[in-house]
Amino acid sequence: MTRGIILKITATLIFTLMAVLIKLTGGRFELGEIAFFRAFFALAVIAIWVFWQGNARQTLKTQRVPGHILRGSIGSLGMYCNFAALGLLPLPTATAISFAAPLITVALAALVLKERVHLYRWSAVAVGFVGVLIMVGSSAFDGGRTLSGPIIGLLGAFFTASAVIQTRRLTSTDGTSTVVFYFMLSLTCVSTLMLIVAAHWPPGLVGAKFMEQQRFLLPDWRDGLLLAGIGICGGLGQIFMTESYQHADASIIASFDYSSMVWALVLGYGIFDEIASFYVLLGALIVVCAGVFVIWRERKLGLSGAQSSKVV
């Protein structure tokens, strides 16, 4: 179990480092270009991992191609929103708002998957969203900011939660490595298509003014390393996270997602001189407590179910 916890905490650190690199490059490169490098290099890392494990044939085998395309499309929307939020919000704030995703997942599991969600978890979700509203209000009115950053961050959390729901459907027949591989493959294809469209957008068509404002640039070697680092961190973080669930129960491992807030506070202050406001910290604390309660409740129900099955 200890190994699984260490792997999960390492994964959160790697993903936070990826967010730092995105903020460092976001001022010079557009989201589509950043997404392409993130997907391409992450796909390369994951492909090496799959072949190194020796189960490439099993990983590539699937009969649910439409489901993987849907998961890739939803995940792509979530990633674009999360990248945009990082450009509009301080690192700790963007990280804290992303914590809404597990709470949204609970609601979507009840509405879409028809899972039975008891009053305790609904109460935790409601309390968690109070924390989200505190963070959104603080981000919108602190320092003259607008609502665009928090709203985009919440959209990212929604799409992330939706991707989790689709992942649950896929993992009923496909392995985790299969879902991860096809997600990165889908994202690489989508981001490549966006780059091609942006580069050849006819000037007379609707949206030409918007396309002219895009800054798709060839990076120099320094920016190239940063952009490649985004993808490498994304791939390594996914591998560490996947491996962590092999060494401990999911209900235990999931609670360590919130360690990313510690990394965001440290790196946000150390690199960008960003300090989270009191209300952001308060809202984050409420959301984290609500999320941990949901995880604890699911674990308790799981243990109760296991004991009941043993008695029977």
C-alpha separations of 52 from 56, 183, 209, 304 in Å: 8, 19, 47, 39
Q: Can you give the pLDDT at residue 307? A: 34
pLDDT of 300 over the 80 cut: no
Flag whether pLDDT at 150 surpasses 70. Answer: yes
Give the pLDDT score at 257: 87
**Which stretch of 30-39, 128-137, 155-164, 251-260 has the lowest confidence by average pLDDT?**
251-260
Q: What is the mean pLDDT of residues 249-264?
A: 83
Work out the mean pLDDT of the chain and round it to a whole number: 82
* pLDDT exceeds cutoff 90 at 130: yes
240: pLDDT strictly greater than 50: yes
In 171-220, which residue ranges form alpha helices assigned H by DSSP? Answer: 176-199, 208-212
Whole-number Å distance between alpha carbons of 100 and 89: 16
For 31-76, what is each residue's pLDDT tens digit? Answer: 878 888 999 999 999 999 888 878 788 888 888 889 999 998 898 8
**Top-confidence residue, 21 or 217:** 21
- What's the mean pLDDT in 255-264? 90
One DSSP character per residue, 269-305 reads HHHH-----HHHHHHHHHHHHHHHHHHHHHHHHHHHH
